[in-house]
Amino acid sequence: MKTYNYYVLFLLVVFCGCSRPTELTSPDGNIKLVFNLNETGAMTYGVSVGGKPFITPSVMGFEGRDGVNLSKGFRIENTEFTTKDETWTQPWGENKSIRNHYNEMAVRLKDPADTQLTLRFRVFDDGLGFRYEYQMPRVDSVFVTDELTSFNLAQDGKSWSIPASFETYELLYRTLPISKVDNANTPMTFKTENGIYASIHEAALTDFPEMTLKKTEDCHFKSELASWPDGVKARLAGGTFVTPWRSIQIASQAVGLINSGLILNLNEPCALEGDLSWIRPMKYVGIWWGMHLGVETWTMDERHGATAANAKRYIDFAAANNIEAVMFEGWNEGWESWGDMQTFDYTKPYADFDMAEVARYAKEKGVEIIGHHETGGNIFNYERQLDHAYQWYADLGVHCVKTGYAGGLPGGHSHHGQFNVRHYRKVVQTAARYHTTVNAHEPIKDTGIRRTYPNMMTREGARGMEWNGWSEGNPPEHHELLPFTRLLGGPMDYTPGTFDILYEKTRNSPRRKKWNDLDQGNSRVNTTLAKQIANWVIIYSPLQMASDMIENYEGHPAFRFFRDFDADCDWSEALQGEPGEFVAVVRKAKDKYFLGATTNEEPRTLTIPLDFLEEDKKYRAVIYADGEDADWEKNPTSYQISEKEVTDADTLSVVMAKGGGQAVSFIPCGMREEP
C-alpha cells in the first residue's frame, strides 16, 4: 500500500488593525467555513455548502468556574493554514485503507489574562471538525460548567435521532422535522430542505464528558454536556486541555455519510507499537441468547447456561462451522448479587464451569474464547480487579473480552460523564497491555478511538438484538436507521442472525421463565429470516455474532452464509439507501464479496450493478432471498436460496418482502467452499 504525505504550510501573522484571514474551504471547494470575532471578542463560525448557507453564525466557547475565561475577550494573534493529504492503513475496519485529505486553519487567540486558545478547524470534502486547545499559564485546574458551541442550521428538514440521555443509548429512533427536535444524542442525522445530508457528532472523546444537543430555537442547537454529580461538566488538572472534535459529516447522498472516513480521520494515529496481529476480526457464537429468552439463566441453578458441558458443545459447533470464537456469559461468581450493588469476581468461575478445562478444550479445537466482564455498573469493584482479571484471562489464552455496564453507577455518576469516559479509556489501555481486544456493552458512544487503540474493536451503544427477546422489539425500520445514525460513529455489536424468529422452540418451553418486566409474552424478531442474514453484512462489526442458540442453526441450509462469511473485510461501500427506508452495502474480504440489502415495512426492489466485482473474473453468486410469500408479520421464515454465475458487467435485481432483505455471497469460480 502506497502512503504519501505532503504539507503546504504558511504562516500569516495578523496584527491589530490588519485584515484577518478567517475563511477555510474543503479541498474540492464545496464546503466553506468562516470564523469571526465580534466587538466583545466572542467567537462564532458559519458554514456554507455549494455556496448556500448551511450553518448561520453560531457561538463558540465554554464557561468556566472561578473566574476562568473560556469564551470572550479574545483577539487573534495569528492564523496558520495547512493542507494534508495522506493515505493510512489500519489493522482492521470497514476499509483498511483510508484517505485523509483536509485543509486546516489554526486560529490562535489570546485574552487580557494571557489565556491562549487555538481553534483548530479542519474541512474535508465529506465534512468538517473543530476543537478547542486551551493554555492558561497561571491556572492550576479548570472546571468547565457549560459548553456554548452551537449549531444554527440554516434550514429545516427531516432528522433521525434518539433523545438525549446521559445514561443510555438504547432508545428508539425518531423521524422528526429538525425544528421539532427538543434534544438529541449524537450522531444526529438530518436532511435539509435543499437536499444536503449531514450528521452532527464528535470525534476523539478521551477525557471529556459526552456532548448531546439541546434545542435553543427553531433549528438552532447548542452542546449539552454530561456532568459530574456536583453539576460540573469537566474537571481538568493544570491549565492546558484539548477538547474532543465537534464534527459535521456532509454529503449529497445519504450513503455518502456511511462511506465517510471523517470520524476516524479526526482521531490520533495508532498508539500501540509492535506486531498487532493479535488484533483480528472474528465470527463468534455464544451462551447468551437463551438467557434473554428466559430458558437459561446467568446464575448457577438447574437452568444455568454457562456450564462446562454446554461450553464444549458450543466450541464443537464453532470448530465444525468455520467460526473462530465462542463467548460465555454467566460463568463467574457475582450474578447472584444482581439487583444490589453487584460485586462480581472476575477470576472465580461457578462450580459447574471449569475455566481452565474449557480453555484447554477450546485450544485443542482451534477455537478462541471471548471472555465476559459484567460490572453491573460497579466501576470501583471492576477497577480494583482490572489488572489481575486481564492477566488471569491472558494466562488462559483468552485475548478478547466483552464488557458490560448494565445498572446504575455508584456515587451519582452518569454513564456518559467524564468519570466514565476516563474509565472506558483505562479499560482499553489495560487490555492492550495484555494483548486483549474489547467489545463494550452499555458503553460510551463510539467516536473513532479505534484508530488510536485498535484493540477497541466494537461496542453496543444502541438497541440491539436482545431487545427482541423480552420486549416489543425493534421495529423493521430500526435496521435501516442504524447505518445512517449510530453506525456513523463506528462498529456495533448488534448481534444479528436469529433464525427462530417467532421463538417457536422456546415460547412454550417448561424451562422458560419471565425475568424482565418488559416481557409481555408477545416478543419476537420483527424481520424476515433473509433480513437477519443480510444484517451480518450491513450492521458492521469486526466481531460478528450469530446470536441464536446453536440448535437453531444445526442443519439449517441458510446458515451456509455465515460459514462462508468473513468478518475481516478489506473494503466496503454503501451502494444505495435512505434513512429508515432501505440500505444496500457490499464488503470485500480477501477474494470474496458479500452484499446485504434490507428494507423497512415496505416491500422494495433494488437494481444493483455488480461493477464492484473484479474485472474479467467470474463469481458464483449464492443468493439468500425472501420467499415469494415472505412477510415480516405473517410469514417471516419463508426464504429461498439460489445460485448463478455473474461478472462485473451484470446487474442484480434485489427483491425484498415487507421487513425483508437479501444477502449474497460472491465466491470466485473455482474457489473451494468452507466445509
- Catalytic (active-site) positions: 466
Helices 379-395 and 418-433: angle between axes, nearest 10 degrees: 10
Alpha-carbon span 326 to 283, nearest angstrom? 9
CA–chain centroid gap for 153, Å, is: 25
DSSP per-residue string spanning 488-524: GTS-B--------TT-TTTTT-TT-----TT--S---
Which ranges in 91-191 belong to alpha helices (H)? none
Please report, as a single letter, which amino acid is at residue 371. G
Rounded to 5°, the CA angle 531-537-540 comes to 120
Per-residue burial over 75-91, b if 16 or more Cβ lie within 10 Å, else e, is ebbebbbbebeeebebb
Give the C-alpha separation, 226 to 248, whole Å: 20
8 Å CB contact between 372 and 349? no
* Contact between residue 74 and residue 11 where contact means Cβ atoms under 8 Å apart: no
In whole angstroms, what separates CA 261 from the centre of its chain? 13
Cβ–Cβ contacts within 10 Å for residue 273, how many? 6
- What's the CA gap between 221 and 245, in Å, rounded? 17
Q: Are 333 and 348 in contact (CB under 8 A)?
A: yes
Phi, psi of 74 (to 5 degrees): -90, 155
CB 53 within 8 A of CB 154: yes
Distance, CA of 250 to CA of 133 (rounded, Å): 24
User: CA-to-CA distance for 477 and 658, rounded, in angstroms?
Assistant: 10
**Listed residue (413, 412, 438) closest to 424, CA to CA:** 438
